[in-house]
Amino acid sequence: MADPLSDFVGLTRAALVAAGFVRRERSGLVWFEGGSGTPVVLVHGANDQAGTWAAVARSLVQRHHVVIPDLAGHGESEPQSGPIPIPLIVEKLHAVIGDLENITLAGNSLGGWIVLLYTLAHPDRVAQLVLESGGGLNIPLAMPLIATNRDDARMMLRAVHGPNAVLPEWSIDALIARATNSPMLRLTELDTNFVDGRLHEVKTPTTIIWGHDDGVVPRHYVEALRNGIQGATLQIIEGAAHIPHAQQPERFLACLPAIS
């Protein structure tokens, strides 16, 4: 039987390969890598995978050494069952980054939290930090992330993709299925890894990107990030919701800090 979600994921990953990326695998970790120059590492959110960055990766890989991992427990990376502790995700990201330095490190949603934790642990590695619709604060989200019926699923998907998003029926089915089986449900050690009290420790130049129609992360959340990180700037993208890099890729690229 056809699986439209798997087909969609496969297309995004194939788009990375078509753009010149090579799929790599080591010790249960999978990532895509391509290009040369200053390193850029792109980190996806919960329940997502490396292919989500396909719309911006083609442009970035022409000028930079780009690394796009499947986070631990996501995509094709282990563990495929059991708990996924937040510190494990950070540790496995470090394993993929290896000896890269002077990194522009960008994370979406959960990925924003992970890249913040990585930067706090390895400030000497990160030259520029980009937080897109996330950042690990103990502030309630504007929308629950689990749906058990079609009406709630539609509401959640519009919170993620925008109020005017066209929602194929398979996307609603997939979201309901995730109410009982998804990487997000396996995440652990969240309470002990919020960064609210540590934002002042971030000395890395930071750009915060937020979609104007984001129905998941409220505006006061990203303003708390901006106010807590010294010198941080906030870029708001009209016509985007929770995943600006996929919904408005050209505007997302224009918001990135200059990369030498």
Q: Could you tell me the CATH number of the domain that includes residue 229?
A: 3.40.50.1820
- Could you give the CA distance from residue 52 to residue 108 in angstroms, rounded to a whole number? 10
Task: With CA atoms as reference, report the closest residue to 172 among 4, 33, 1.
Answer: 4
For residue range 84-143, what is the model confidence (pLDDT) as tens digits?
999 999 999 999 999 999 999 999 999 999 999 999 999 999 999 999 999 999 999 998
Q: Does any domain span residue 260?
A: no
Label residue 21 exposed, middle or buried (CB < 10 Å: 0-12, 13-18, 19+).
Answer: buried
Q: How many CB atoms lie within 10 A of CB 173?
A: 14
Mean pLDDT of the chain: 96
Q: Token digits for 80? A: 């495929």
Q: Does any domain span residue 30?
A: yes
* Model confidence band, residue 3 (pLDDT cutoffs 50, 70, 90): confident
Q: Does any domain span residue 187?
A: yes
Q: Does any domain span residue 65?
A: yes
Q: What is the predicted pLDDT for the residue at 2?
A: 62
For the chain, how many structural domains are there in total? 1
Residue 1 pLDDT greater than 80, yes or no: no
* Model confidence band, residue 260 (pLDDT cutoffs 50, 70, 90): low
Residue 13 phi, psi dihedral angles, 5° rounding:
-75, -35
More confident residue, 258 or 152: 152
When pLDDT is averaged across residues 172-185 and rounded to a whole number, the result is 93
SS3 154: helix
Per the structure, the complete domain to which residue 63 belongs is given by: 4-255
Q: Does any domain span residue 147?
A: yes
Q: What is the predicted pLDDT for the residue at 145?
A: 85
For residue range 12-68, what is the model confidence (pLDDT) as tens digits?
999 999 999 999 999 999 999 999 999 999 999 999 999 999 999 999 999 999 999
Q: Does any domain span residue 38?
A: yes
Residues written for the chain: 260
Residue 105 phi, psi dihedral angles, 5° rounding:
-115, 115
Q: What is the predicted pLDDT for the residue at 258?
A: 87
What's this model's pTM, rounded to 2 decimal places?
A: 0.97
Instruction: Identify each DSSP E strand in 17-122 by its residue range.
Output: 22-26, 29-34, 39-43, 65-69, 84-85, 103-108
When pLDDT is averaged across residues 202-208 and rounded to a whole number, the result is 98
Q: Does any domain span residue 225?
A: yes
Q: What is the predicted pLDDT for the residue at 259?
A: 78
Residue 226 pLDDT greater than 90, yes or no: yes
Q: Which of 26-40, 81-95, 171-185, 230-244 has the lowest mean pLDDT?
A: 171-185
Q: Token digits for 49? A: 């995978």
- Could you give the CA distance from residue 95 to residue 135 in angstroms, rounded to a whole number? 21
